[in-house]
Homo-oligomer: A and B are copies of this chain.
Amino acid sequence: MDLRITGGFAPPGHNHRRCIVDAMDRAAQVCAARGARLTPQRRRVLELIWSSHKPVGAYGLIEQLSESGQQVAPPTVYRALDFLLANGLVHRIERLNAFVGCPEVEQDHAPQFLICGDCGDVAELREQSVEAAIAAGARSAGFVGWRASVEVVGVCPECAGGISP
């Protein structure tokens, strides 16, 4: 267990508590290194996003934040999300208007997301060949200075292999 999750889906039996702890550690480290302030608010939002491997919407976060204590308004959570996105701690899934934690926060990247339409889990891939193929297509069209988002909807191994043959 406790396998590295980048490159595939988190195994069903994995120690997710560890995912969270590691993510928060990496976040603290990265923010300290670049002088970014990981305030309690931002920390709390990042924890909530990492509560699973499923993308979370902004209003889902607002709801969860508002449970324990005072009401939280949209700008608060959107500002936290802006910070986390700007520092590469979370990614935005465009087609879902939702956010997932990034397991590789060291350098900036534009990964491919595998989204299970069944359970909702998301895996982050970084296939060099995908970026290379896109680069070739972009070059042939004279397209420059680009950044690609790749979102793949399908069925994860767990949902596929489980019940239905």
Contact = CB atoms under 8 A, between A and B. Distances in A.
Interface of A: 7-9, 94-95, 112, 114, 116, 123, 125, 127, 129-130, 132-134, 136-138, 140-157, 160-161
Copies in the complex: 2
A48 to B, nearest CB: 24
A117 B161 CA distance: 41
Main secondary structure on A side of the interface with B: mixed
A125 B148 contact: no
Given A134-B112, A137-B125, A153 B144 contact: no
B142 A153 contact: no
B129 A141 contact: no
A46 B133 CA distance: 31
Nearest to A151: B149
A135 to B, nearest CB: 10
A133 B132 contact: yes
